[in-house]
Structures are given as C-alpha cells and as structure tokens.
Amino acid sequence: MLGQMMNMELTVNSLIDHAARYHGDAEIVSIGTDGNPSRSDWATVSERSRQLASALRTAGYVQGDRCATICWNNVGHLECYLGISGGGMVCHTINPRLFPEQLVYVINNAQDKVIFFDKTFLTIVSNIRDRLETVEKFVLMSEPDEEIAAQFPGLLFYEEFLQRGTPNANWPEIAENQASSLCYTSGTTGNPKGVLYSHRSTVLHALVAAQPDALNLSARDVVMPVVPMFHVNAWGVPYITAMVGAKLVLPGPGLDGQSLVKLIDSESVTIALGVPTIWQGLLSALDELGSSAQSLKRTVIGGSACPPSMMSEFRGKYGVEVVHAWGMTETSPIGTVNALLSKHNTLSEEGRNKIRESQGRPPYGVQLKIVGEDGHQLPEDGIAQGNLRIRGHWVVADYFGVEPNQTLEEDGWFETGDVASINDDGFMTIRDRSKDIIKSGGEWISTVELEGIAMGHSAINEAAVVAASHDKWDERPILLAVKIPDANITEEELLAHYQGKVAKWQIPDRAIFVEGLPRNATGKVLKNKLRSEYGEVLVSKPAS
Amino acid sequence: MLGQMMNMELTVNSLIDHAARYHGDAEIVSIGTDGNPSRSDWATVSERSRQLASALRTAGYVQGDRCATICWNNVGHLECYLGISGGGMVCHTINPRLFPEQLVYVINNAQDKVIFFDKTFLTIVSNIRDRLETVEKFVLMSEPDEEIAAQFPGLLFYEEFLQRGTPNANWPEIAENQASSLCYTSGTTGNPKGVLYSHRSTVLHALVAAQPDALNLSARDVVMPVVPMFHVNAWGVPYITAMVGAKLVLPGPGLDGQSLVKLIDSESVTIALGVPTIWQGLLSALDELGSSAQSLKRTVIGGSACPPSMMSEFRGKYGVEVVHAWGMTETSPIGTVNALLSKHNTLSEEGRNKIRESQGRPPYGVQLKIVGEDGHQLPEDGIAQGNLRIRGHWVVADYFGVEPNQTLEEDGWFETGDVASINDDGFMTIRDRSKDIIKSGGEWISTVELEGIAMGHSAINEAAVVAASHDKWDERPILLAVKIPDANITEEELLAHYQGKVAKWQIPDRAIFVEGLPRNATGKVLKNKLRSEYGEVLVSKPAS
Ligand SMILES: Nc1ncnc2c1ncn2[C@@H]1O[C@H](COP(=O)(O)OP(=O)(O)OP(=O)(O)O)[C@@H](O)[C@H]1O
Ligand SMILES: Nc1ncnc2c1ncn2[C@@H]1O[C@H](COP(=O)(O)OP(=O)(O)OP(=O)(O)O)[C@@H](O)[C@H]1O
Ligand SMILES: [Mg+2]
Ligand SMILES: [Mg+2]
C-alpha cells in the first residue's frame, strides 16, 4: 500500500527557488579576482542562474552534459553551480591547484564540454588547452575584454554568454536521481577519482547538514565558506545556505589570514568553514590585527585533523566554538560532525574537550563501522582501530568512469582508506590514513596524534610524522617540523615535549626541522613525498 | 545521466535504528495511565518495537495492514508507532475524544485489523466494539489482567502479545513510498478525513522539522510533546527526536497545567509543543506553583492561532521563546514556522513581536500561495487575503478511501480551507477559516484577530467570535467570552477594550459571557455549534 502524499523531486533547482522566493534579499557578498567586493542576493542569483541554464540550452547542451568550472569562491561560481545543475547539466568543479597533467586527466575523464573559468586561471587553461579532447567552449568569467580575446582564440565571455539565455527562464523537469555535479578527490594518495552526485543526494545532504547538530545554519547566519567551491562543493555550503536563506560571504582568491579577518569583521560573519591550515593563518592574523572576531560564533574544521591546540585557541581566546568534522569527496562530504550529547554536560571541561577532539558522530543518513584486515567488524569501544567503512544516502556507489560495481566492498559499504576507532556513543576518531599509519614492531602508531602534539608546541607551525624504515622495528616514526619564524628550539627539546603525552615507544626517533611541507591541491601534506625523501634516515648506512 | 550515489530508502525504521545506535541511552520518560512515571531509552524502544513488528508478522499481518492505536502520549504508544510502521504496517492513530459515531466511522473507514489501546479507553472501545467491521484483535496496553479479561472477551494484553515476537527481530525491506501511518483530521468542520503518510514524507518532514529555523532540535534537547500522538503524529516529534537523539518526555493523561509544570521542572524539559488551550493552563499553573520553568527555552504553539498576549507572557515573564507554527493533518503538519530573518534585527522589539504573531514562513519543502474565489493568485503584499493553498513533499495528494484525484485543485495544489495573507518575505497570517470568516457589508472581518484581542484582556480566559445574522449588514461579529474565575467585567467594558485596536466597524456588536466554549477532540472551538446557538441574537424578533 502506497502513501498518498504529493510526489515531488528533491532537486537543486528547488533549493534556489526557495531562496529566491523566501530569502530574495539575503545578500551574497563576493570578492572578485581583482580583490574588490561585489554584492548580489539570492533573487538575483536565481534570475541569473536560470538565465545561464537557458543560455546553455540555447548553445545546444542537453541534460547530463558535463560543464566544468575552474573558479574561486565567488558569485559567478555560485551562478554556475545553480545554473548548470538547475539546467539538468552536470557541474564539474575543478581544482585549479592540480598539476597540469592531473587537470588534463580529470577534464578528459569527465568529458567536459564547456569550461567556465576565472581570469586567474587564464594561463593554466591556455597551457593545457591543446590536450583537452572534449571541450568545445571556454568561457571566461568576466565582461568582454578584447585584449584577452586576442590572446585566446575563440574565448567566450560569461556576461556575453549569459545574454544568449532568457533571464528567469523556466527550469526543465529534473528527476531526483539525475546527476547534478561531479567532483574529483584531492589526489593525496594517487590520481583523483570522480564522484558523481545526484540531485537527491545533494538535497538530502543539505537537509542534514543544516541541522543543529551538524552545521546548524539558519536564516540569521552569515556564512563564509573558506573551503573552496572546487573542493567537495565547498562542503555543500552553496546548497545549504540556499535552503535556509543565509547570507553568504564568498572570499574569492584572498585566503590569507588578514584578508579573512577583515572580511569576517566587515561582513559580520557568524560561521566560517575550512581546513586547518587556513585557520592557522587566520589565528595569526587575528593576533596581528588585534581583532577579536566579534561576530564569529563557530568555525567548522575538517579535511585534515584539527590540532587540539587550535581548538583551544579558538575557544579560549576568541570564544569561537570549533566544530570538528570528517568527510570525503566520496561522502558529499559530511560523514561525522562533533556535537556533544546531553550526558557530556556532567564531564569536566577537560573531559568535554577530549571528546571535541574526535571527528564526531554520524548524523542521521550515514552509518559507520570499522573492520579488521579480514573484513570482520571490530568492536566500537573507543580502543579497537580498523579500516573505516561508511554507507549512506550521500555516499558514492561507483566512481565516475570506472567499471560499475568496483567501488564498494562485498558488504555494500565504501571503504574510506582511513583507520579509525569508534566509541560506544558512535564518536569516531581518525587515527590515520591506512597508507600513512606506522607499523612499528607489530604495533600501530597514529601519525595524526603525534602531529597534533608537535603542533601544540609554541615554537612549531607545521608538523608531519611519517614512517622511516628501521632495521629492528621495521618502521619507526620520524617528525618533520616547521618552526614559527624566529623560534628557537632544538631536536632534543621538541622530542622531550612528547614525554608523558604518549607511550615511550610511540615517541618519534627523530625530529628534523624543514622549511616547509609539500602539500597537494587542497592543502594536505603529501606524505608519500616525505617518505621517499626521509624514509631512509634511520637505516644504518653501509660503510662506504 | 544518473548520479552514482548509494540508493537507500527513507524509512521510519532507519530513524529508530539511528536512535538505537547513536543515542541508545537517551531517555524516554513516560507517564502511565495510572499517573506513574516509567523510564526507558531509545535502545529499549528499538528492541521492543522490532519485537512488536515481529509479533504482528507472527499473528499473520502483512505490509499495508492498518493497525490502530487509541493511546495517550506514552512509551507504549511510541513502540506502536515505530513497531507498526517499521514492520511495514500502517499505524492508524485514533483520537479518543471523537464522538462514538466518529470513532466507528474512522475505524471502519480505515479498515483497521488491530487496535492497541490504553486502559483509560477500555469502556469506549468496549461500547463500540460491536459496530467495528474489520477489527480482529483488541490489545490492551498492559500486563495481563484477569479481571479485565473477564469483562472483555478475547482481549489481548500488550506485554503478552509482544512475547509472540522476537526481540530485536530484523526489519523487513520497505520502499520509501509505502504508507507508514494514517491520521484523520480533527473534524472541526465536518467528518474527519484520512491522510495516509508515506515513509518518505515522514522522514523528509522530520529532516526539515529538526532544522534551526523550524523546531530546532538537537541531541541536547529534552522534548515534551503535549500535542497528542493521536493528533498529526504529535507534529512529528516521535520521528524527529529519534532522528536527532533527543530525550523525550511523554506526559500521559495528565495534561493539566500543574502536572505539566511539575514534569517540566523535574525532567528539565527544554522544549514543549502544544495547542494554545494547553498553554493557558500551564501559564496559570506556573503562577500558582511559583515555578519559573527554568529549563524551558521554547514552546511551539500551533493548531489554533496563538493569542499575542500568550506570547508576551511566555517571553516577558518566563524568558521562554514562543515559536508560532501553522499546519494541518493534511500537511504532516508543518506548513509554516515563525523564525525571524536577519533584517528583523533592525526592528524595534515591538516590531519584531508583530512579526512573531504571524504564523511564519514555509521551510524548504513546501510552498504557499493565496488565491481569490476564481482561483487566481493574489499578491503577497501582507494586505490581500485569500484562500490559502499549499504544496510540498509532505502534503496530502488524495484523502484516504476517497476517489483518486478528488482532493487537489486543478492547479495541483491543496486548498487548506484557511483564509490568509502573505507578506513579501513569505510570512503568512491566518485570518480565519473560510467557513468562519465574517462577511459584513461586503467587507471581511477576521475572527482570529478579534479573539486575540479579547484574550489579551486580563479578565478573559477564552474567547470566540462568530458571525450573527444581521438585517442590514448581512453578518456582524459577536463575541462569546469566558471570564477568568471571580473576574468582574461588563459587556460594555469588554467591547470598549477594542477601541483603537481595530477599525470601528470591526468591533463586535455584542459580547456575551458564557460558562465555556464547545470544543472538538483536539481542543478547537466548534464554531458551527456557536453559530447555531447564537447566530440569531442580532436579528430583530418579530413582535409576538
Ligand atoms: N577531520 C578530519 N580529520 C582527519 N582526516 C580528515 C578529516 N577530514 C577529512 N580527512 C581526510 O581527508 C580524506 C578525504 O579527502 P578528499 O576527499 O579531499 O581527498 P583525499 O583522500 O585527500 O585524496 P585522494 O582520495 O585522491 O587520495 C579523508 O579520507 C581523511 O583521510
Ligand atoms: N497557528 C495556527 N493559527 C491559526 N489556525 C491554525 C494554526 N494551526 C492550525 N490552525 C488551524 O487548524 C487547521 C488544521 O487542523 P486539523 O488538521 O487538526 O483539523 P481541522 O481542520 O481542525 O478539522 P477538519 O479538517 O476535520 O475540519 C488549519 O486548517 C487551521 O485552520
Ligand atoms: Mg581519499
Ligand atoms: Mg481541516
């Protein structure tokens, strides 16, 4: 027996329609590639994204066609998000920081037909253009510019391209299981893999992400996604803010601490979202500028483990709540969010902070488990650690462009590549990537924990722990650390800092000071690079 | 091109599974029919509801079978909710306050096969038993009791019936469009009409209801639904609290103010939901008991218009936020919730209160419009008033058991039977039911507004305004008012209270003091009764 309720589709266009009608004058503040701010609102973004969908249709594109973007977080990018998906095409957001070979790979793999890109990326696009097999149109996000046009034969200009469409044109009918957007993983552990989101998965993800125990977004929030719109759809923020009608602040290319602080203060940002490295810069800038980030209530931190010292600085010094979250491109991305339970009220502040350090618990809609090497489920007692698996409404089923039924495990779950423990309340702690964890004399050592301790030292800015080969123990941890400018610290002092914080046998064998850490396109440390450079430092050299 | 995300169904069992795993020890406090509290938790409720589903299966029931409940808000009722729907059967919640004829009508109309009922309703069920055409099993919500069994041949007892099932049995596979539950309208304007919810509509409604700008529920909330579980699924609270893992306080039969105040204080309730008449009693009791309702942060008020005076008393005297909401059985029920926008920050407190008095704006997932008699859409300028129509994911498409395609209007929208205005931000104000609005000399007069003013007078407890026939003006408003005990007020004084608050021609022609107002099963005033009793008081009597 079927229910007798209205059948409607969960689509991206219904999100923008809601924002346009009920929050039409809520602002979208956007920093352009030239560093200048502009102001729009949801009504205008709706009108222009409908026009974009119509322009694409006029240009001959049909539902399912991939249209790519290489843009900063700005209002033009937002219009592309909504116009492309709303029009039934697939919005493929590309990370401009990928290496040129990776860029060529993902564009050809996705079979993109159009690329919308910001001026900043003109040279990048120009340089790879000849190797792109399917792209028919290159659209620069700007007013027409003859000088640029002369350098790039056939180049189209966004404002001109828009004119081919009807403002406020009707959306097409879209079924909720149709693809809405495509994003590739960060390429930390290999070639980026494509994840093809559906309208339904995007809307369900947004419905959950807005909840009090997730990102907790209302129409009274001013939301600044620092996490790039080319990285897992800026964690869904464009969709979620449309759904709840929040004001959106898009910081454009200026992701340095000072620019962000100024924007937070001038636009009264209440919640900002980004990866830990970004917040490191922000915290220094707050100090330098003497800002107290008055309006800021929460930062959501994910993408890499948030060092405990960062949480206490935000909370203790600025009264800013830190919400630690974990996710992946493959999970839209929200997998867990750290929101305390009632029973944690009875803990000491220290006890609560310990819980806040974990990556949190899954919201309704996703489930987690950890398994051993043989695929057997492990106990969720906060101690056992194993390979983390996930399933849920917004979790990948098949990677884009690979054989079907190759992506999931036999049990139908997705294996994350992360090693984690889960406690009996379901709070999950990432111990490591399975490729990064250190196996020393049969025992596992979490590099994430060792890095967090190093970053808690006042002289240390960045830290990475990797495995180095060892004659006796097979692998031993070594620490690569970047000092804060002008800091004075010796290897011995830094290693002494671990005393009493972890078991003796977990303390790194060496601390090596370096100028910087190699990072990939989303700011994650490339540990394979570090391993190939430093992996042999502990091995006794043969007498030469 | 389809997205490549996991395909999972949005089902009621996935809600209880989430609660059991991630919030297993969050408490369910329940007041029994004997007035005594009991304590359970989500893990136990999950275990027992799975057992109930299994017992129903063992007894031969199959997916789609209607199983009814006639129960208070208590943990047994919660187990029925989840066990019946989770097992694929349809949970039909029946309002025990319906007249016997209405009870017989809805049970036969629904073709219920089983009825689970509380001891309180033994006589009611016993009395109508012979007229029930489809019911095979009567299950009393209690341990076996020989004395009762002797009086009611064939009676089953819940705790015994449960034993026929396996605790923690597996749920069956359920498709999200299957029916999950059935509820009839309150019968304010005619015979109750059945609305058949689906698993999908129930889950989507819960996802939206939990959001910050709707009920704003988190795992740290203690939620007390005073609105009955036999009235639109207690506004979805059982599902929403399972989804977010809140503590649930179920007040059982004691809905008087004093019982509620004691429960709020002893269980640290943070949010309570109910109709205005309930809160009237609560406010008096707070005063009498000298409680400040310390833990209470919000009350959600709907079902009838919330008098402005009630809002200011909650907010001003107790610091309790009042969230005014509008909905119907046909809309699951959330249609609008009043949550302010950023721009309202710049208003005076008085200006904000004015906005809070309206029924609020629709969340993502539903849309509203107002139309004139000819079905043409009216402007949304806060002034024009017309017939309110709604559509959305959790809005009825066909009433249960009536011919298909008879329920919606030609445009595919559902006509609510309410008359409303909508302002440009989408805030909707209910002016009246279309059957209740007064048409005086061609002008419309809102009875809701006039009632709110009367209830703002310190001597008045309850008020209803209805149309009385009038020789010249066709219809004129008259006020029926119930004084608070021992209050002294004359008709003239009460009418004078309207001066300056509404236009002169809107002031009622008479104020008549009555002992009480006739109300229906959900506590709504039966205006048709009042009209037939008082409708002729203004007509000049023929000289006899
Ligand atoms: N809060 C967090 N704490 C620790 N690690 C995190 C956190 N959030 C995300 N991560 C890491 O980021 C990964 C997901 O990142 P993303 O999808 O951007 O690509 P990637 O895994 O870095 O790249 P690739 O899959 O191409 O190697 C997770 O699997 C996890 O290792
Ligand atoms: N906040 C509110 N303010 C004013 N009226 C409200 C509010 N909330 C609900 N209502 C009224 O309640 C109605 C829905 O009530 P419900 O579904 O319980 O049955 P009913 O309409 O009273 O009964 P029936 O449809 O059988 O006559 C709405 O149509 C509206 O008239
Ligand atoms: Mg990965
Ligand atoms: Mg009705």
- Could you report the per-residue pLDDT of A466-482, keeping only the tens digit for each? 999 999 999 999 999 99
Mean pLDDT of A523-533: 92
Mean pLDDT of B210-214: 98
SS3 label, residue A91: strand
**Range with lowest mean pLDDT among A63-77, B12-26, B513-527:** B513-527
Distance A304 CA to ligand 1 centre (A): 6
Cα torsion angle, B407, B410, B416, B419, sign: negative
Q: Within chain B, what is the greatest distance between any pair of CA atoms?
A: 83
Task: Give the ipTM of the model, two decimals please.
Answer: 0.96
- Could you report the per-residue pLDDT of B442-491, keeping only the tens digit for each? 889 999 999 999 999 999 999 999 999 999 999 999 999 999 988 999 99
| List of residues 6+ apart from A226 with CB closer than 8 A | A73, A251, A255, A260, A272, A273, A274, A278
Cα torsion angle, B23, B82, B334, B502, sign: negative
> What's the token pair of residue A103?
């860029």
pLDDT at B190 over 90: no
Query: Which ligand lies nearest to the CA atom of residue A323 in the structure?
Result: 1
* Domain at B10-202: CATH architecture: 3-Layer(aba) Sandwich (3.40)
Listed residue (B137, B112, B144, B141) closest to B48, CA to CA = B141
Angle between helices A199-209 and A12-22 (to 10 degrees): 50
> What's the token pair of residue A224?
């600044």
Q: Which of B288, B444, B490, B505 is catalytic?
A: B444
pLDDT at B520 over 90: no
* Shortest Cα distance, chain A CAs vs residue B93, angstroms: 15
Predicted pLDDT at B544 = 54
pLDDT at A543 over 70: no
Q: Is the CB of A188 under 6 A from ligand 1?
A: yes
Angle between helices A237-244 and A75-86 (to 10 degrees): 80
Contacts with A391 from chain B: Cβ below 8 Å: 6, 8
- Could you report the per-residue pLDDT of A259-280, keeping only the tens digit for each? 999 999 999 999 999 999 899 9
Restricting to A residues 327-346, those with a Cβ less than 8 Å away from any Cβ of B are 332, 339-343, 345
Mean pLDDT of B232-243: 97
End-to-end CA distance of chain A: 81
Neighbours of ion ligand 3 (CB under 5 A): A 185
Q: E strands within B9-135?
A: 27-31, 37-41, 66-70, 90-93, 114-117
> What's the token pair of residue B387?
């017939």
- Could you report the per-residue pLDDT of A268-318, keeping only the tens digit for each? 999 999 999 899 999 999 999 999 999 999 999 999 999 999 999 999 999
Predicted pLDDT at B136 = 98
* Shortest Cα distance, chain A CAs vs residue B167, angstroms: 21
- Could you report the per-residue pLDDT of B156-176, keeping only the tens digit for each? 999 999 999 998 899 999 999
**Separation of alpha carbons B62 and B89, rounded Å:** 7
Q: Within chain A, what is the greatest distance between any pair of CA atoms?
A: 83
Q: Which helix (H) or strand (E) is B12 found in, with range?
A: helix B12-22
Mean pLDDT of A400-408: 93
Predicted pLDDT at B521 = 79
What are the start-end ranges of the H helices in B221-370?
232-235, 237-244, 257-267, 276-289, 308-312, 318, 349-357
Distance B265 CA to ligand 1 centre (A): 45
Q: Which of B439, B443, B493, B536 is catalytic?
A: B439
Cα dist from A519 to A259, A335, A378, A480, B404, whole Å = 22, 23, 33, 13, 61
Angle between helices A199-209 and B199-209 (to 10 degrees): 40
Cα dist from A443 to A437, A446, A503, A507, whole Å = 10, 10, 12, 13
Contacts with A8 from chain B: Cβ below 8 Å: 391-393
pLDDT class of B542 with cuts at 50, 70, 90: low
- DSSP lists the bridge partners of residue A236 as none
Q: Which residue of B94, B98, B188 sits with most ligand 2 atoms within 8 Å of its CB, as the best mutation to test the pocket?
A: B188
Mean pLDDT score across all residues of chain B: 96
Domain ranges of chain B: 10-202, 436-534
SS3 label, residue B345: helix
pLDDT class of A544 with cuts at 50, 70, 90: low
> What's the token pair of residue A115?
């690329």
- Could you report the per-residue pLDDT of B350-374, keeping only the tens digit for each? 999 999 999 999 999 999 999 999 9
Listed residue (A346, A493, A338) closest to A426, CA to CA = A338
Mean pLDDT of B507-530: 93
Distance A418 CA to ligand 3 centre (A): 8
DSSP secondary-structure letter at A413?
P
For this structure, is A185 an active site residue? yes
Q: Do B340 and A18 touch (CB under 8 A)?
A: no
**Separation of alpha carbons A139 and A165, rounded Å:** 15
End-to-end CA distance of chain B: 82
CATH of B436-534 given 3.90.480.20, 3.30.300.30, 3.40.50.300, 3.50.50.60: 3.30.300.30
- Could you report the per-residue pLDDT of A164-222, keeping only the tens digit for each? 999 889 999 999 999 999 999 988 888 899 999 999 999 999 999 999 999 999 999 99
Say if strands A428-433 and A414-422 run parallel, antiparallel, or are unpaired: antiparallel
Residue from the list B3, B179, B397 with its beta carbon closest to the beta carbon of A178: B3
Listed residue (A502, A456, A501, A506) closest to A481, CA to CA = A456
Residue from the list B18, B25, B195 with its beta carbon closest to the beta carbon of A364: B18
> What's the token pair of residue A100?
């040129």
DSSP secondary-structure letter at B79?
H
Mean pLDDT of B166-187: 95
Predicted pLDDT at A188 = 84
Looking up tokens 């009762």 gives B148
Angle between helices B199-209 and B12-22 (to 10 degrees): 50
φ, ψ for residue A494, nearest 5 deg: -65, -40
Q: Do A198 and B3 touch (CB under 8 A)?
A: yes
**Separation of alpha carbons B477 and B468, rounded Å:** 6
Q: Do A216 and B213 touch (CB under 8 A)?
A: no
Query: Which ligand lies nearest to the CA atom of residue A436 in the structure?
Result: 1
Predicted pLDDT at A304 = 94
Listed residue (A98, A281, A288) closest to A185, CA to CA = A98
The domain defined by A12-366 folds into Rossmann fold (3.40.50)
Q: Are B480 and B525 in contact (CB under 8 A)?
A: no
pLDDT at B541 over 80: no
Q: Chain A: residue nearest B216 by CA? A: A212
pLDDT at B305 over 80: yes
Listed residue (A113, A241, A55, A91) closest to A180, CA to CA = A91
Residue from the list A25, A90, A219 with its beta carbon closest to the beta carbon of B339: A219
Mutate to test the interface with B, among A6, A28, A393 (most CBs of B within 10 A): A6
**Separation of alpha carbons A113 and A68, rounded Å:** 8
SS3 label, residue A513: strand
Q: Do B3 and A244 touch (CB under 8 A)?
A: no
Mean pLDDT score across all residues of chain A: 96
Predicted pLDDT at B487 = 92
Mean pLDDT of A404-426: 97
- Phi-psi bin for A232: left (phi > 0), alpha (psi -120 to 50), beta? left
Q: Is the CB of A452 under 6 A from ligand 1?
A: no
**Separation of alpha carbons A477 and B92, rounded Å:** 62
Ligand 1 atom 15, closest CA: A328
Mean pLDDT of A215-237: 97
Mean pLDDT of B187-207: 94
Q: Chain B: residue nearest A394 by CA? A: B5
Predicted pLDDT at A439 = 93
* Shortest Cα distance, chain B CAs vs residue A283, angstroms: 27
- Phi-psi bin for B252: left (phi > 0), alpha (psi -120 to 50), beta? left
Predicted pLDDT at B227 = 96
Q: Which helix (H) or strand (E) is B201 found in, with range?
A: helix B199-209
Residue B439 CB coordination number (10 Å): 12
Could you give the percent of chain B with pLDDT greater than 70?
A: 99
Mean pLDDT of A219-233: 97
**Separation of alpha carbons B508 and B477, rounded Å:** 5
Q: Is B397 on the interface with A (CB under 8 A)?
A: yes
pLDDT at B273 over 60: yes
Distance A245 CA to ligand 1 centre (A): 29
For this structure, is A330 an active site residue? yes
Q: Which residue of B328, B402, B427 sits with most ligand 2 atoms within 8 Å of its CB, as the best mutation to test the pocket?
A: B328
| List of residues 6+ apart from A130 with CB closer than 8 A | none
Q: Is A393 on the interface with B (CB under 8 A)?
A: yes
**Separation of alpha carbons B243 and A163, rounded Å:** 46
How many CA atoms, within 13 angstroms, populate the side-chain half-sphere of residue A49? 34
